């Protein structure tokens, strides 16, 4: 999931810091999720998906 988040975040033109600010998360948390060091909660996934403008399933499924 982390790699998909990284790609979608970059496509949306958002930095980790900006995404963190929009979701109420620290940029380090975004980085940890992207690296797979921590698993995102459902609430975090939902907030991230809203911030980057994709449905939540796009973060979880390869296309």
Cα 55 from Cα 27, distance rounded (Å): 21
Q: Please tell me the pTM assigned to this model.
A: 0.86
CATH of the domain at 24: 1.10.260.40
User: What total number of domains does the chain contain?
Assistant: 1
Q: Which domain holds residue 26?
A: 2-60
Q: How many Å apart are CA 54 and CA 48, to the nearest integer?
A: 9
Is the torsion defined by CA of 30, 32, 33, 34 positive or negative? positive
Q: What is the pLDDT along the chain (63 residues), one digit of tens a residue?
A: 778 899 999 999 999 999 999 999 999 999 999 999 999 999 999 999 999 999 998 888 765
């Amino acid at each position: 999931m982390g790699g998909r988040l990284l790609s979608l975040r970059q496509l949306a033109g958002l930095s980790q810091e900006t995404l963190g600010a929009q979701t109420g998360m620290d940029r380090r948390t975004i980085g940890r999720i992207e690296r797979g060091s921590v698993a995102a909660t459902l609430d975090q996934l939902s907030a991230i998906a809203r911030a980057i403008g994709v449905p939540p399933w796009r973060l979880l499924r390869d296309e």
